[in-house]
Structure 1
């Protein structure tokens, strides 16, 4: 028999009524699992005497003009169905509605009403695929690569959870029972509270999109307790003195360290995200009323900001890059090198980190230089600019923060530092 046998089933073509004396439909027959089967018309009819049941093809008969067309189409249906089948998760391979949707798509008779038959994993995988291949025409709807990667990580965790717990996860199963089970699953893997929270956030986002698309009708995920869990991470900022120590450090013996340090300092003196400050060139430099400024199109906010070029950036450009800016460096390399630079600059304070892992709060002492990363530059700018009494509205205009609440949650100012700043206000003079 000329049949295709995927790992989960067998594809055959057969006649609906093989013993008829008149034309009968050629059927697509797929058997899978334990006694499961789907049968659909291929759109072709034939007299049984012209059908080769062994090869599942139209016989070579001179009176049938479209024999090659029919046989070619049958091969195409079989090939496409097998290919789409291989992309499915195991639960979807047993779902007749999903299989029907695939067949309808191949036959060109897919209707919008068939979309709601997709399972959660089918929808999630297709959602990712659409964004990865840039099939959405509206740029406002596109996801960036970091967000896509985060969704893929969440989907992987959900598939592991589903497999390990035999949960049969689908849209209608996403409720508070699932929520507690999934959180517990992640806690047992000793993920931090913030990581767990990000996965919950991604699930909610996917469910919202599926609901908007008419795929999902289960709204139990909107329960007030079905929410992202989080805790404030141990983030640091470098003091103005520590920034000066980095700036003054002689790193001529290691050009990679030096370039990473200089890019970091540009991040500090501009207050931008690493995606905006790493890779600035002469094209970003404009002159207004005799003053040189950076013109930066922020990737996240889509806003254009103008930032005065700090004297120390000018000095870095003049002394080490012949009046140019340091070339872009991979973020991972900056994160690796800036920690080593911080250690050499003797930024040795001990920081106590607190993190909820596996449901338990753990405290660990860590060297401050080990916590320095690309984002520390921006946080240090915002904090030191605030302590220097730069108006908050001006800091936000440069940093891109949209609300004061967001800004104050972002900066790292101790109660003592805030008290000293307040003491300098006119009220206490």
Structure 2
């Protein structure tokens, strides 16, 4: 048989929160805040209820007795209807009893997250004239929803937007770290995305936020290890004569990627139709017709050299998976066998681990965009490079290639010396 009792837990300023405690008689215990608080001196330890020593405490006492009877009645009905008794079930009984919001309303965290993904993100204004967010951002929020859903199951509790507080963020962070085994940069990204959504809900959709949601701390985690292919290494790969035909195609796509800063999904989709002449200049046209954003990438000599191999066209099509598999073999055959400090995924733990690894093992399609940004930094004005890498601020760009404040000094020194040579 079930048993419903009340407990008190210390809050602040010598006040205690009153919790309902449901024991289902088979070893499971569920607790839920009632919303009432009390001083310890007004608590009837023997009966587990507020003392009836003044009108306010008497009303609390009577209300809690009514709630206890309601839980018993709902419990009996749940058994008849074969409804599972859980923490969520207890939450709904208490919410309904006190006339609080139900678990199905649109302030539920997961329900609002669906609304945010489907109805807000596609139209959310960005800097400049752009409307809507990137596919990567949409995917991040879809994954955030999966993680929050798992978190609710782990806690056996449903959450509302108003529940997202600094304490909630810490508990969610702890869950992602300890249960999902995610690294700090990944968990930090989820916390930041969650905070952004809740702030938008409170500001634009008139939802009730937790009063301290702005105090949620966000972080990017420790710096990721920067692995790139230097210009010398790219030259070595370009001159390698040990490759078969399939590996040569992968090698040529790699050279294109490292000289256009395109992600693999965009790179491997390029066709001759992307090659255009705009205002007398030959470019790769990466303009987005949907957003109206123009992006033209100049044909560096290294790009022209690859295109010339294929009579002015791009190399034959290959899949992302095949491309990544071949890249490591290409780098190994090119002699990139020396050890370098980096990160590799451990298939047993499915987490990246830092260490010394042969350089060829660290090569993947993700290396291309950062290689471009790093290799061309200082050779061309940073704003021009940012147009190609799609970084919105110089700070983001410099963090991406791990450049610090002192690098500005070095770049100034380089420009000063260059100008002296030109003037002489």
Residue 34 in structure 1 maps to residue 114 in structure 2 = no
Post-superposition CA distance 1:214-239 (Å, at most 9, x none) = 36212345333432442211121211
Counting only pairs closer than 5 Å after superposition, residues 265-414 of structure 1 correspond to structure 2 as 265-287=255-277, 291-297=281-287, 303-319=293-309, 321-353=310-342, 363-387=354-378, 389-412=379-402
- Displacement of 1:164: 2.1
5+ residue gaps in structure 2? 1-72, 79-86
Give the 3-state SS of the residue equivalent to 1:258 in structure 2: helix
Distance 1:289 1:127 in 2: 41
Distance 1:258 1:300 in 2: 34
TM-score, normalization by structure 1: 0.62
Counting only pairs closer than 5 Å after superposition, residues 186-265 of structure 1 correspond to structure 2 as 186-189=176-179, 190-212=181-203, 214=205, 216-220=207-211, 222-250=213-241, 253-255=244-246, 257-265=247-255
Does the Cα contact within 8 Å between 2:88 and 2:157 map onto a contact in 1? no
Distance 2:88 2:135 in 1: 27
Counting only pairs closer than 5 Å after superposition, residues 136-175 of structure 1 correspond to structure 2 as 142-175=132-165
Does the Cα contact within 8 Å between 1:201 and 1:228 map onto a contact in 2? yes
Distance 1:100 1:200 in 2: 25
Deviating more after overlay: 407-416 vs 197-206: 407-416
Deviating more after overlay: 303-312 vs 190-199: 303-312
Give the 3-state SS of the residue equivalent to 1:223 in structure 2: helix
Residue 120 in structure 1 maps to residue 161 in structure 2 = no
- Displacement of 1:180: 1.6
Post-superposition CA distance 1:363-412 (Å, at most 9, x none) = 4223333332323222212222125x323333233333333322222225
Distance 2:320 2:290 in 1: 16
Residue 5 of structure 1: aligned partner: none
RMSD across aligned positions (CA):
4.3
5+ residue gaps in structure 1? 1-31, 38-88, 103-115
Task: Give the length in aligned residue pairs.
Answer: 326
Post-superposition CA distance 1:109-132 (Å, at most 9, x none) = xxxxxxx65411222234445589
Give the 3-state SS of the residue equivalent to 1:269 in structure 2: coil
Residue 184 of structure 1: aligned partner: 174
- How has the CA–CA distance of structure 1 residues 163 and 259 changed in structure 2, closer, same or farther, with 3 Å as cutoff? same
